[in-house]
Amino acid sequence: MAKPRKVKAAVIGCGTISNIYMENLASKFSIIDLVGCSDLIPERSAARAQKFGIRQMTNEEILNDPEIEVVMNLTFPEAHFEVSKAALLAGKHVCVEKMMTVTLAEATELMDLARSKNLFLCTAPDTFLGGGWQSARKYVDDGLIGRPVSISAVCTTNYSPNTPMFDVNPDFFFFPLHPGGGVPYDLGGYYIHNMINLLGPVKRVTGFGGNLEPNRFFSNPHHPWYKEPFIVNTETTIAGTLEFENGCVGTILFSSDSSNFDSFSVQGTDASLVMFHPNFYSGDLTLRRLSSAPAPMFAPPTPPAQQNVIVRGVVTEHKLPMLHGYLDNNRGIGLADMAYALRNGRKPRLHGELGYHAFEIIYGILESCRTGQVYEMTSRCERPAMIRASALVATAQEITLDD
C-alpha cells in the first residue's frame, strides 16, 4: 500500500495563534507539507517563516502557487470571509479559524462557492478531534450514561482589557470585542462543535441576551486614549435552549460580561458525564451515577423505619481513562484530517456543514433574542465520524486519521 502523497499547505495570518498551528503542521502531521506563510505585517510572516523553515510569501503568491492545495486561514474574524473567498476562487481548499465569518449571509456565500467548485471548506475549532472528546464520544455511544437526555454548558469570562496598549494597532488588536468575537463566537464554537459531536445536529433554538453593554471606554490611565469611548460591536451574553434532532435538549450560557466560570456535562438515563473545557483536547472525564456503598464488615444497627422517604441512593464519581490519542495541544489536527480526506476520498470530520450549522445555532439564538420567537434551523449536518480508539502513542497515532 503506497504512502499517501503529502498535501502542500500555506498559512495566511501570522498572529499569536499561528505559532502552535504552524509548529504542529510543520512537524506533527506527516500528511502535511507546510511550505509558506503570509501576513499583512511582513515582519510577522518573516519571523514565522524563519522559525519553521518555510517561505515568506504574499497572499497573492500563495493563491497563485499551483502546488499549494490548502490554505489555513488564521486571520481575525472580520477578514475570514475575504481571505477564504479569495482562496476558494483560486481553487484552494480552506480551513479557517472559528467562526467561519461574522454574518450568516457571508457564511452561506462561502458554502455555496465551495460546493460549486467541489472544494472543502472546514471551520475550527477542531478540539473535538482530541483524545478527550473522542473518548467522551465513545463512552456516550457505548451507552455508559444510558440513553442521552440533555446537555448543558456554561462559559463566562470578562473581556474588559485594561492594558496600556489595548487596540492601538494590529499587534494589540483584541478581536473578541469586535464583530465575530465575544464569548458566544470566541468560545461558543468549542462547546457547540462538541455538542454536535456528542449528540448530532440541532432542530430548533431559542434564547435571551445580546449585546448587554456596547458603550465602553478605555480604562487604563496609561492608555493613549484613556477615558475615550469605544463601541463593542458584537454580542456578549446569550442564554439559549437547544432541541436536538435526536430528541435531546440542551442549554448554554455564554458571557464575556461577568466573572470566570465554566462547566460542561451530558446527562443520561443512568449517569452523567462531567467534561472539561472544550478549548482543550483532553482533560478529566468524570462519570457520576447512583451506586451502592461498600458493605461494612459488621452490619450496623438497623435504624428505625422512616415513613414516606424516597431513597435515591448515593452518587459516586469515577474518573474515566482516555481511549484515544492526541491528548496535547493539537491545533491543526482538523487540517490534517482534511488532508487525509482529500487523499482517501472521504468527508473531512471538520466539514463545512458542521461549522455552518454551529454558526447558525448562535445566529438562531440571537434571532430568538431579537424576535422573542423560537428559531427553526434551516441547516443540518452529519455527526462527524468518530476516530477509532487506540493505545498508540507519539507519531504512530496519526494512522487513526488515515481512514
Mean predicted lDDT score pLDDT of the chain: 92
- Pairing mode, if any, of strands 55-56 and 121-123? unpaired
Please tell me whether residues 230 and 305 are part of one structural domain: yes
The per-residue pLDDT for 177 is 86
Q: Does 29 fall in a domain?
A: yes
Domain co-membership, 254 together with 165:
yes
Contact 71, 64 (CB under 8 A): no
Give residue 295's pLDDT: 52
What pLDDT does residue 125 have?
A: 96
How many domains does the chain contain in total?
2
Averaged pLDDT for residues 10-32? 96
Do 153 and 21 share a structural domain? no
- 120 and 249 assigned to the same domain: no
Selected residue with higher pLDDT from 74 and 315: 74
Q: What is the pLDDT of residue 299?
A: 54
What confidence score (pLDDT) does residue 292 get? 53
pLDDT at 301: 55
The predicted pLDDT at position 244 comes to 98
**Does residue 118 sit in the same domain as residue 134?**
no
Of 294, 319, 344, the last residue of a domain is 319
Same domain, 295 and 345: no
Question: How confident is residue 296, by pLDDT bands cut at 50, 70 and 90?
Answer: low
Q: Which helix (H) or strand (E) holds 327?
A: none
| Percent of the chain predicted with pLDDT > 70 | 94
pLDDT at 312 (0 to 100): 60
The confidence score (pLDDT) of residue 290 equals: 84
Percent of the chain whose predicted confidence (pLDDT) is above 90: 80
pLDDT at 298: 55
- pTM metric for this prediction: 0.91
Q: Is residue 370 part of a domain?
A: no
Q: What is the mean pLDDT of residues 210-236?
A: 92
Whether residue 389 lies inside any domain: the answer is: yes
Measure the CA–CA gap between 253 and 112, rounded to whole angstroms: 31
For the domain that residue 48 is a member of, what is the CATH number?
3.40.50.720
153-162, 219-228, 310-319, range with the lowest pLDDT: 310-319
Distance, in Å, from the CA atom of 196 to the CA atom of 212, rounded to the nearest integer, reads: 28
Q: Please give the biggest Cα pair distance in the chain.
A: 83
Work out the average pLDDT over 44-63.
Answer: 97
What domain range includes position 170?
129-319
Structure confidence at residue 330 as a pLDDT band (50, 70, 90): very high
Contacts of 351 (CB under 8 A, 6+ apart): 120, 122, 381, 382, 384
159: left (phi over 0), alpha (psi -120 to 50) or beta: beta
Q: What is the pLDDT of residue 5?
A: 95
In a domain? residue 136: yes
The enclosing H or E element of 395 equals: none
Contact 29, 336 (CB under 8 A): yes
Q: Is residue 152 part of a domain?
A: yes
Q: Which residue has the cell 458525564?
A: 273
Residues 172 and 313 placed together within one structural domain of the fold: yes
Please check whether residue 64 is in contact with residue 90, taking contact to mean a CB–CB distance below 8 angstroms: yes
> pLDDT, tens digit, for every residue of 138-196?
999 999 999 999 999 999 998 888 889 989 887 788 888 888 888 888 889 999 999 99
Tell me: pLDDT of 268 over 60. Answer: yes
Residues 273 and 174 in one domain: yes
Write out pLDDT tens, residues 83-101.
Answer: 999 999 999 999 999 989 9
Task: Say whether both 87 and 234 belong to one domain.
Answer: no
pLDDT, tens digit (0-9, with 9 covering 90-100), for 107-150: 999 999 999 999 999 999 999 999 999 999 999 999 999 999 99
Instruction: Please provide the distance, in angstroms rounded to a whole number, between the alpha carbons at the two ends of the chain.
Output: 13
Confidence band for 302, pLDDT divided at 50, 70 and 90? low
Q: State phi, psi for 79 to the nearest 5 degrees.
A: -100, -5
For range 8-36, the mean pLDDT: 97
* Residues 142 and 111 placed together within one structural domain of the fold: no
User: How many Cβ atoms are within 10 Å of 221's Cβ, its own excluded?
Assistant: 9
Q: Is residue 2 part of a domain?
A: no
Residue 316 has what pLDDT?
85
Beta strands in 51-184 (DSSP E): 55-56, 70-73, 93-96, 121-123, 148-158
Helix, coil or strand: residue 161: coil
In this structure, the answer to whether residues 96 and 147 fall within a common structural domain is: no
How many other CB atoms are found less than 10 A from the CB of residue 3? Answer: 9
The CATH number of whichever domain residue 194 belongs to comes to: 3.30.360.10
- For position 307, what pLDDT does the model report? 56
Q: Are residues 20 and 112 in the same domain?
A: yes
pLDDT at residue 293 greater than cutoff 80: no
C-alpha cell at 323: 481511549
Residue 72 C-alpha cell reads as 489555513
Residue 57 located in a structural domain = yes
Q: Is the pLDDT of residue 395 over 90?
A: no
Is the pLDDT assigned to residue 209 strictly greater than 60? Answer: yes
